Homo-oligomer: A and B are copies of this chain.
Amino acid sequence: MKKKLKLGLFGFGCVGQGLYHVLNETHGVKAEIKKICIKHHGKTRPIDASYFTYDPSEVLNDPEIDVIVELIDDAYAAFAIVKKALENGKHVVTANKKMLAEHLEEIYELQQKHNRSVLYEGAVCGSIPIIRNLEEYYDNDLIRSIEGIFNGSTNYILTKVFEERKNYFEALKAAQDLGFAESDPSLDVEGFDPKFKLAIAIAHTFGVFVKPEDIINIGIQKISAVDLKYARENNLTIKLVARAYKSEGNIFGFVAPQFIPLDHNLASVRNEYNAVLVEGAFAEKQVFIGKGAGSYPTGSAVLSDISALVFDYRYEYKKFEQGDGLPFSNEVFADVVVSFPDGTLITNRDFEVFKGGYQGSGHQYLKGSVSLKKIKEWSLWDDVSVILAPDPNLTAINQAKTQELLSA
């Protein structure tokens, strides 16, 4: 018989409550919540008051508690909790992508030092079991790229903007009302949230620890009506894409909006859904699609981690330990469409390879290949939006028409 794990929770927001319900509704998972540490006094709580404490040490120092489930917003406080939990001989389950991305190498080392496990499937694309599959199923595959839609709230916003012709602010409001957007929406719309997830995914895909500040992120906040028009006229949609790939001895990775042909697999990933495309030498192209936000999907990922701890599961970080880690670099060119009002100082001479442009009413589009750093620089200018061009090398499951479209 397997032991019954006792859990100490930090935070009881939407994911924590989702977990509580999931634990109650499923049988067969040998775990129970013993104590929940919360921050705000006086809130009405949906479960018995005896579960709750305001004192972290009451949870962290309880010798009966086997696993700390860390579900708070604050990345700084979360890391302190994780560190203390490991020092106290407890395993940790967390869905805090910011904290993980910022401290992943240290967390890896703390696991080795204290011989305890930190699992975080819920941190990357909610319900999609991508970390587990990278760790176990693709552990021997030579992965060339991992990419996809890593943020549910921006995907929800872009879906509403395109399909219901809402404006950006209406769509953001709707996402927040549904609880898909984080407490600070800039983390989502400026592309920080998917960047944190990409940094974590890179460690498990390519065996490299990359600091999130070294990954360039461009958000969706500059996408204009002009860009939507361009997309519609060319049978494209726009998705916020996170991508990392191996090329010429380097690992490249970034987050940016991209024009996506309507028959590409990513185009049909709508609303709060996320998608991950993995391309390996042996398994070839694989797609995982699932909900990336919401209390139940994330609660379910956290539960799967807890369930794995019953069987003493640990991430192996095999790609890192095998030492095939290549250097991470931003020295790469990408094809973009940049759009801006007349008078903006961008010309065809700014491109590495210029691929054409045209003039609308008071507005210009230029297409071509530019460095990632230039893309980042332009994205910070007023009224300028830079969107990655539909990429003929974009991983896709045999879309039918894209090639025609690209050559048109």
Contacts and interface: CB of A to CB of B under 8 A. Distances in A.
A284 B289 CA distance: 11
A289 B159 CA distance: 22
Chain B CB count within 10 A is highest, among A263, A287, A322, for A287
A406 interface: no
Interface in A394-408: 397-400
Given A140-B28, A287-B288, A296-B282, A268 B263 contact: yes
A97 interface: no
Given A28-B318, A273-B397, A397-B273, A129 B140 contact: no
A380 interface: no
Interface string A128-142: 110011001111111
Interface string A307-328: 1100000000010001000000
A294 B281 CA distance: 13
The interface size bin for chain A is 35 or more
Interface string A72-86: 000000000000000
Interface stretch (A19-27, A35-43, A222-230, A238-246): A19-27
B142 A133 contact: no
A28 B288 contact: no
Interface string A274-294: 000000111111111111001
Given A283-B127, A283-B297, A140 B291 contact: no
A290 B159 CA distance: 25
A291 B285 contact: yes
For this chain, the copies found in one complex come to: 2
Nearest to A31: B140
A265 interface: yes
A140 B29 contact: yes
B398 A271 contact: yes
Contacts of A301: 283
Contacts of A297: 282-284
A307 B141 CA distance: 11
B288 A284 contact: no
Given A283-B127, A397-B268, A142 B304 contact: no
A310 to B, nearest CB: 10
A265 B163 CA distance: 17
Nearest to A262: B263
A379 B319 CA distance: 51
A28 B140 CA distance: 7
A286 B265 CA distance: 14
B28 A139 contact: yes
A284 B25 contact: no
A236 interface: no
A303 B28 contact: no
A299 B283 CA distance: 8
Interface string A116-152: 0000000000011100110011111110000000000
B300 A136 contact: no
A241 to B, nearest CB: 17
A129 B137 CA distance: 7
Contacts of A138: 304
A195 interface: no
A308 to B, nearest CB: 7
B268 A283 contact: no
27 contacts: A22-B140, A22-B282, A25-B142, A26-B140, A26-B141, A28-B139, A28-B140, A127-B286, A132-B136, A133-B133, A136-B304, A139-B304, A140-B303, A140-B304, A269-B397, A270-B398, A270-B399, A282-B303, A283-B290, A283-B296, A284-B291, A284-B296, A284-B297, A286-B290, A287-B287, A287-B288, A287-B290
